[in-house]
Amino acid sequence: MVLYRKWGSEKDYVSTYTSSIESDKEILEEVKLVMKAHVIELYLSGYLNKEIAGKIISAINSFHEIKEGYEDVHEALEDYIIKTVGEEGGWVGFGRSRNDHVATALRLRVRKYLIDILYSLLDLRKTCIEKSKVSKEILFPTYTHFQPAQPSTLAHYLLYIEDELYSIWNYLFSSLLMVNRSPLGSGAIVGTNAKLDRKREAELLGFDDIIYNTISATSSRLDLIQSISNLSLLMLFLSRISEDLILLSSMFINLVKIPDSHVSTSSLMPQKRNAVTLEVLRSKAGECFGDLSSLYVIYKGLPSGYNLDLQEMNKHYWNCIKMVIPSLEVINSIINGIEVQEFKVDEKITATDVAEDLAITGIPYRKAYMEVANKIRAGTFISEISPKISIYKKAVIGSPNPELLAEEIKNKENRLIEDENKLKSYEEKILGKLNELKVIEDDIL
């Protein structure tokens, strides 16, 4: 089975300790796609005739399993091609290296995941906006230092979530643009003597451009690390929302009710409604941070150029990425089904309104503040401002005033539509280019 390795023996540590077969299963289809693009480029550049190119592409299409005993999927695929096609299958080794091929396959796989995650984020943002439309007057207290602060609404809280997700969506879309550049044709580190058209290869695979410098193309993983960093930011925020909902749904506070599909009881205490999906989400966020930390620590000490350490980074991409979409689905489901319980409002929650109204009449705010504070300390404070009146009194945009929230909701709907159209257009462009590769493939076959 050994195709490249000539040192050592068949039973040495290289085929066991250094093998990446397990994590390579994640990129099997992408590796096949990259190999087809390479064969097509060899054909278009005049190095392969149509008959041989067709035989090799047919062999690539029939490769479905990475068998044990190989160093990686690239060795397994090339060996399969040679055994299937014959000696002429060895042309696939011309003008290519595992270094540029794996870098390309990784970007293709991460590109697909990022697009899926961006769509899931759009769904969650839409849920927040739609839910906010019917909750503009549902009272929902805010907290600072986890002490009751001022009256707000559920809609105001949900639009805060959408705001944060909007920022993260744009971080991830920027990551997608950076990831969607092709390393293919860069060989091991300095390119190849074969006159391959790298830009044409990039077009065939749906990339926007090439990574120009061949050292960067083969050995850089910064764009992938940045993607995981931004996904970690997403998990960071989702964990924070999870903490909110866990605390606010506890019987100590009992402000919100989590949907039944997200709670579990105790094996001993039948009264319990444990917010278990949110607890697991908090934990998965921590795992994601661990994967990001591993990426940093592995990458920081590597000399420029390809090193097998880069192979060991791959599993950390997939570990973090695969936690994200289920976590988005959990938050989406909970927000869609969340209920705000009736709660007793302490009239001191509108103390700020009383002080501000005094200031509006002409009393310096600090004097008004101290007047209200002294009454609170003396136990004589009485507020005639209800929480509902309080939210309607808010005069600045971005506040929970239902009249102002209506405008905010409309603006957020418009930018959501813009983002959705931008993503759909970008995906369609990629799929269109991939279809061109398929047309050439079909013509060869």
Look at the chain and count its residues: 445
How far apart (Å, rounded) are the C-alpha atoms in residues 212 and 215? 9
Residue with tokens 């290869």: 201
In sequence order, what are the beta bridge partners of 256?
340
SS (H, E, C) 289-341: HHHHHHHHHHHHCCCCCCCCHHHHHHHHHHHHHHHHHHHHHHHHHHHHHCEEC
Residue 250 annotated to the active site: no
Q: Which of 9, 145, 267, 425 is catalytic?
A: 145
How far apart (Å, rounded) are the C-alpha atoms in residues 133 and 6? 67
Q: 75: Cβ–Cβ under 8 A, 6 or more apart, which residues?
A: 2, 3, 4, 98
The answer to whether the beta carbons of residues 174 and 82 sit under 8 Å apart is: no
Q: Which contiguous run of DSSP H or E holds residue 257?
A: strand 256-257
Coil vs helix vs strand at 51: helix
Chain CA centroid to CA 186, Å: 28
Residue 145 annotated to the active site: yes
Backbone dihedral angles phi then psi of residue 181, each to the nearest 5 degrees = -130, 140
E-strand ranges in 75-205 read 143-144, 147-148, 181-182
Torsion angle defined by CA atoms of residues 297, 303, 306 and 310, in that order, rounded to the nearest 10 degrees: -10
| Residues 195-230 as b or e (16 or more Cβ within 10 Å = b) | ebebeebbbbbbbbebbeebebbbbbbebbbbbbbb
Q: Which contiguous run of DSSP H or E holds residue 209?
A: strand 209-210
Say if strands 339-340 and 256-257 run parallel, antiparallel, or are unpaired.
antiparallel
Residue 317: count of CB within 10 angstroms of its CB: 25
Q: Which of 174, 261, 264, 266 is catalytic?
A: 266
Residue 443: count of CB within 10 angstroms of its CB: 11
Which residues are marked as active site? 145, 266
